[in-house]
Amino acid sequence: MDANATTPLLPEVMEAMRPYWIERFGNASSIHLDGQQAHSAVDRARATMAEFFNCHDAEVVFNSGGTEGDNTAIFGLLRPGDHFITTSIEHSAILQAAHRMDSQGVQTTFIAPQPSGLIDPADIQRALRPETRLISVMLANNETGVLQPVEEIGRIAREAGVIFHIDAVQGAGKVPLDVRRFGCHLCSISAHKMHGPKGVGAMFVRRGTPIDSLIVGGSHERRRRAGTENVPGIVGLAKAAELAMLSLEDGTMDRVGALRNRLEKEILRLSGTGVNGTQTSGAPGLDSEIWESTNPVPRVANTTNIWFDQLEGEALVIALDLKGVAVSGGSACHSGATEPSHVLMAMGLNKTRARASLRFSLLKTATDADVDYVLHVVPEAVEHLRAISPLAAGTLG
Ligand code: PLP
């Protein structure tokens, strides 16, 4: 239930990568046969990724994953005096990079979401300045799964002549990517969020985008990213992307969506619960039609973020872990202090409710039996923790 943190390799991905660790270990830059075999494998992977993004092969740059793609968009483009627009619900790979640019004379406007978790494109429009150089907005939020209106933001960027980057790390494999339709210049993805290997990713860089390489050295990746290609990783990323495209067409992601909906609906039967990233509040006996009509915010199929009144999310994470269920809490540990999630806080939750929130994110291999088991252990754990909770007893100020 923690697929947004990471996912296991699918067996087909492992099989596709295997030869490139041992027999076909060549350096893709070498001119001998071993090198050429590796080079061809990277070329084939590039063609698959071009299909995945809906772009030209030459617009695909392989890198080490989402953090590098996000950092590259910011450090590779922004210069002193530039203005940058992003949102307050981005991943730290964007937020921390923006903060670093602060000291280098780049001002950033952080757009807050609406209570639903959606960014209003009109807020982006209003934030534009003559010196705005870059807009960066995520496709899907990692905590709530809420899908952002990137096409509309792409239109605003185009009209303003501003470069547009999308962090699509949590959207890739869950919704079809189409960088032409999105109207972006840059788009970052990561293999390990879609059943591929860790430490490898790709970035779409629209032809002619004046971006500097973050890493310099050899002339790899048309001078846009130096360093010997991670051939097994790149092959694994492409295989994962190929399988992801299939899953979007063969009903797999619809099946995951139905599992997520069942999980969410059943948990909402517990009193004092609600979903972050929709307008839905927990009410016993909620019927599915009402549930669907009160749930209009677009989200990826695999994610739900639920608050539980009178609970510390952290305690529930631990209780569920002891039962073999991995979930993430609505808080993150920074330097030893537990801080409530910046995403949930930006959506207007108070600290107590943000801390009382849990993210359930399903693997695409999740089964009915997995959901049955989670639905078996969650109510027990919630009841037990509420019975002993100082929050419930009102003894914690
Ligand atoms: N962007 C988002 C939205 C993410 O969820 C993550 C990972 O959690 C990243 C970027 C970073 O990706 P990576 O783990 O590949 O560095």
Q: Ligand 1 mean position to 66 CA, how many Å? A: 5
Question: pLDDT digit string (tens) for 208-254?
Answer: 999 999 999 999 999 999 999 999 999 999 999 999 999 999 999 99
Task: Find out whether 172 and 194 touch, Cβ atoms under 8 Å.
Answer: yes
Q: Provide the pLDDT for residue 373.
A: 98
Give yes or no for residue 67 having a pLDDT over 50: yes
At 280 the pLDDT is 46
Strands 357-361 and 303-308: antiparallel
**For residue 355, what pLDDT is reported?**
94
Kindly report the average pLDDT of the chain as a whole number: 93
Around ligand 1, the residues with Cβ closer than 6 Å are: 65-67, 70, 91, 93, 138, 142, 167, 169-170, 190, 201
Q: What is the DSSP string of 31-48?
A: SSHHHHHHHHHHHHHHHH
Is residue 265's pLDDT more than 80?
Answer: yes
Q: What is the mean pLDDT of residues 168-181?
A: 98
Q: What is the pLDDT of residue 393?
A: 60
Contact 211, 247 (CB under 8 A): no
DSSP run (H or E) holding 355: helix 351-355
Q: Would you give the distance in Å from CA 74 to the centre of its chain?
A: 18
Residue nearest to atom 10 of ligand 1 (CA): 66
Cα separation, 380 vs 300, whole angstroms: 28
Q: Is 358 helix (H, G, I), strand (E, B) or coil?
A: strand
Nearest to 306 by CA among 336, 284, 327: 327
Collapsing DSSP to helix, strand or coil, 77 comes out as coil
pLDDT of residue 333: 54
pTM as predicted: 0.94
**For the chain, percent of residues with pLDDT exceeding 90:** 90
The Å distance, Cα 254 to ligand 1 centre, comes to 24
Indicate whether 288 pLDDT > 90.
no
The CA R_g of the chain, rounded to the nearest whole Å, is 22
- pLDDT tier at 296, thresholds 50, 70, 90: confident
In this structure, what token pair is assigned to residue 278? Answer: 């929709």
Give Cβ neighbours of residue 195 (< 8 Å, ≥ 6 apart). Answer: 7, 8, 9, 10, 13, 173, 240, 243, 244, 363, 364, 365
Cα separation values, 6 from 1, 68, 93, Å: 10, 17, 16
pLDDT band at residue 390 using 50, 70 and 90 as cut-offs? confident
Which bin fits 161, alpha (ψ -120 to 50), beta or left (φ > 0)? left
For tokens 């609970």, what's the residue? 311
Instruction: Report yes or no: 325 and 285 within 8 Å, Cβ to Cβ.
Output: no
| Average pLDDT for 70-76 | 98
Classify 276 as helix, strand or coil. Answer: strand
Instruction: Output the six-digit token pair for 155.
Output: 């239109």
Contact 42, 228 (CB under 8 A): no
Residue 330 has pLDDT above 80, yes or no: no
Residues identified as active-site: 333
* Percent of residues in the chain assigned helix, strand, coil, to nearest 5: 45, 20, 40
Ligand 1, atom 12, residue with closest C-alpha: 66
Residue with CA nearest ligand 1 atom 5: 142
Residue range 1-15, pLDDT digits in tens: 999 999 999 999 999
Q: Mean pLDDT over residues 298-314, rounded?
A: 95
Residue 389 pLDDT class (50, 70, 90 cuts):
confident
Q: Which residue has the tokens 């995520």?
A: 138
* Dihedral sign (CA 205, 207, 213, 215): positive
| φ, ψ for residue 295, nearest 5 deg | -125, 60
CA of 118 to the centre of ligand 1 (A): 19
Mean pLDDT, to the nearest integer, of 176-199?
A: 98
At residue 31, what is the residue type? I
Out of 88, 91, 200, give the residue to mutate to test ligand 1, the one with the largest number of ligand atoms within 8 Å of its CB.
91
pLDDT given at position 284:
39
Q: How confident is the model at residue 339 (pLDDT cuts 50, 70, 90)?
A: confident
Between CA 132 and CA 196 the distance in angstroms is 35
Instruction: Say yes or no to pLDDT of 281 above 60.
Output: no
